[in-house]
Chain A
Amino acid sequence: MISSYTLGIYPRSEELIEATRKNTSNLSSLFLSETKDYISLQKKAKLGYVCDPLLQWDDIFRPFAKLKSVKFAALNRNYEMNTFYRKLSFENKITGEGNIVKTNVASTLLPKNRAVCIPEPYTFAERHLSSKHKTKDEFVIDLAKMLRKEALSLVKAGFKLIQLVGPSIAYNINKVDLDLVKDGLDILTRDVKAKTVLHFYFGDVSKKIERLLDLPVSGLGFDPITTPINAIKKHSFSGKSLAIGLVNSYTTQVENKKKCISEINQLVSKTRPKEVFVTTNFDLEYLPKEFARKKILVLGEISKGVKNV
């Protein structure tokens, strides 16, 4: 089965950027109308799963600043990108109730085939600080417990697919403790009745794919810019889903549909996954809105062109 979705945060329009800067009286209605517009566009493109564009999220971790005992720390560079996020500092044991993400996505605007994006526990811990947890392991496990509550409540809210973004695993692939990653995901995904796809970008994970296939998630997602398709082809995905981010959120050039379709068909014939998702490689917010819209449409066209597994 072939499906498709976008990943992460979408770009704000220039009008919305300006309105946010000036905190204008129509700000809420602008956020709402742009959210609706992006949702309509995903439907028009016939994407398999539709996402909230997360326009009010300043970065993928920011809603979690609402957890108790979390303080803002310094701005930090997003890997090697020219973008920055605000580090969060956890000053006590993490006590989430599972309502952070749910209350920060527009569930009521989304169709039944809805997906949502959250950070996986290792990436979350690697990007932030804790003065409470004595070891990184403790921090990862505590975050995983909090994220599990989030995942369970998202399933209750009707989300069928949860994208777990793991750029820190990919970026640090040669030194990451994959047992710790697995422990975190074991907790997060336990009894979660939705598809869970773990996405890798910002680093080449070619040499660890066999280990990654053991992780307790429904599927793995790759960015072919950093992890070459030829490396993915060498592995059997039997029993696992495969997401391939052929639509590049870091270039304004629109993908060649025929070439992408051919690449996916070859990849699928070699890897034999349970299910295939055609996706963006990471957040569309690395593009201005006009180009992000083009990428959504081409993603839909590529998905339509790919043969069923």
Chain B
Amino acid sequence: MSKKLFPTQEIGSLKKPSQLLKLVKDPDVSNEIKAKKRNDAALLNIRTLEDLGLDIIYDGEVRRVEMYEEPVRYIEGFDFAGKVRSWDNKYYNKARITSPVNYKNNFHENEFKFVKQNAKKEIKVPVTGAYTLADWSYNEHYKSKEDLVIALAKKVLRPLIKDLVKLGAKIIQIDEPAGTSHPSEMDIFRESINESVKGVNAKIVVHACFSGNDYKVLAPQMSEIKAQQYTLEFANRDTWNLGTSDKARKGFHVLKLFREHGFKGEIGIGVTDVHVDDIESPELVRDRILYAAKALGDPTKIYVNPDCGLRTRTRTVAFDKINSLVKGAELARQKLK
């Protein structure tokens, strides 16, 4: 594990190169060439993230269709129903659960093996969590949402994570963008993570997106969830002013609440907003880190990452943001020397 202060990490997907997208859809291109091009794209992401200076990396999820559709394709019990809007003309392929859910095989195996073989830095494998898979689907089989979530946790997530650990995965990030979106279901969310990681010998990271409640519903659950780290969004509601005052760093206030609830684990703080093209300066990143370290009360518990996956930004913008993030983390380290 990284020992230096404020380790830096990516936490989600990157935009896929347009040439790759065209090629994988082309029926005239052979599967061998498609596989080679996917490897090339994964390698490009791995090298780029490493060269930018991140301490913990993956492959930008370049082989995955999308975080929901990819696992659903390989889990027994799901049938795709069709496209449903996320926003504007952005849609996702939503599935129905029509029979008991079951794990068939490790659908991230080839991807993980390739990253492990090629990465020089620590790697963290993202997997889509049980709660989000249930929340984003139509349940036609289980009596309740809770039954579905727990079935997914026990019968799909747990064996998947165990298989990844068998292959050598040491850090698993459970992606739960829906995790805090239903305040009344936080107990189900907690149990979904705890059931997913039962008997797993790896560092568990939980990534939850901002859901309008500022993680206030997550705070009381954090110590009860068997995760060592949470990677969360902060930058998207923070100011762009420099400084470490409460006023300048209003997006990070909730860290104090985590502390009040006795949370003693790590937080991967989002220091770059993934919804805008403006690039945060290294100095702004530095100030966000320094404020977060003080608010949480222990700088060794702070990891540094973008708010979420950067796939909605161009690759140039995404890499500029990561570059700034790495530089800002270094400035923060120097400040605390």
Chain A residues within CB distance 8 Å of chain B: 11-12, 14, 17, 20-21, 58-59, 74-77, 80-86, 250-253, 285-291
Contacts and interface: CB of A to CB of B under 8 A. Distances in A.
Contact of B81 (A21, A82, A84, A291): A291
Given A252-B140, A253-B140, A14 B82 contact: yes
Contact of B212 (A20, A76, A86, A290): A76
Interface residues of B, number: 26
Contacts of A250: 138
Given A21-B89, A75-B275, A288 B81 contact: yes
A58 B90 CA distance: 10
Given A77-B212, A252-B81, A83 B86 contact: yes
Contacts of B81: 252, 287-288, 290-291
B135 interface: yes
Interface in B61-107: 81-89, 91-92, 94, 96
Contacts of A11: 83-85
A81 to B, nearest CB: 8
Given A77-B181, A252-B138, A58 B82 contact: no
A288 B88 CA distance: 15
Given A80-B182, A82-B136, A288 B87 contact: no
Contact of B88 (A77, A86, A252, A289): A86
Contacts of A82: 86, 92, 135-136, 178, 181
B211 interface: yes
Which of A12, A252, A253, A286 counts the most B-chain CB atoms under 10 A from its CB?
Answer: A252
A21 to B, nearest CB: 6
Interface in B265-321: 275
Contacts of B86: 82-84
Contacts of A81: 181
Contacts of A75: 87, 275
Interface string B123-156: 0000000000001101110000000000000000
Contacts of A77: 181, 211-212
Contact of A252 (B96, B182, B212): B96
27 contacts: A11-B83, A11-B84, A11-B85, A12-B85, A14-B83, A20-B89, A58-B88, A58-B89, A75-B87, A76-B212, A81-B181, A82-B136, A82-B178, A82-B181, A84-B87, A85-B87, A86-B87, A86-B88, A250-B138, A251-B138, A253-B138, A285-B85, A286-B84, A288-B81, A288-B94, A290-B81, A290-B82
A250 B138 CA distance: 8
Q: Which 9 A-B pairs have the closest CB atoms?
A: A288-B82, A84-B87, A252-B138, A58-B88, A20-B89, A80-B182, A252-B96, A80-B181, A288-B81
A11 B94 CA distance: 13
Given A77-B212, A252-B140, A289 B181 contact: no
Given A76-B212, A82-B178, A58 B87 contact: yes
B268 to A, nearest CB: 21
Most buried by B among A11, A12, A82, A287: A82
B128 to A, nearest CB: 13
Most buried by A among B85, B88, B135: B85
A174 to B, nearest CB: 13
A177 B184 CA distance: 23
Nearest to A20: B89
A122 to B, nearest CB: 18
Contact of B87 (A12, A80, A83, A290): A83
Contacts of A59: 87-88
Contacts of B92: 82
Nearest to A76: B212
A285 B92 CA distance: 12
A300 to B, nearest CB: 22
A12 B96 CA distance: 19
Contacts of B85: 11-12, 83, 285
A17 B89 contact: yes
Contacts of A76: 212
